[in-house]
Structure 1
Amino acid sequence: MRYLLTIFWTLLLVNMLMYVAGSMVGSSYDFGTATTLGVVAVILIFIISALIPAQPTEEQ
Structure 2
Amino acid sequence: MRYIWTIIWALLLSNMAFYVLSSMQGGEYSFGLASGIGLVFALFVFVLGDAGIKDETAD
TM-score interval, normalised by the smaller of the two chains: 0.7 to 0.9
Gaps of 5+ in 2: none
Q: Which residue of 1 aligns with 2:16?
A: 16
RMSD value over aligned CA atoms? 1.6
TM-score (norm: length of structure 1): 0.86
Alpha-carbon offset, residue 11 of structure 1: 0.5
Aligned partners of 1:27, 1:4: CA distance in 2, in Å?
31
Q: Which residue of 1 aligns with 2:32?
A: 32
- Aligned-residue identity in percent: 41
Q: Which residue of 2 aligns with 1:43?
A: 43
TM-score (norm: length of structure 2): 0.87
Aligned residues: 58
Query: Could you list the runs of 4 or more consecutive aligned residues of structure 1 that deviate by over 3 angstroms after TM superposition?
Result: none
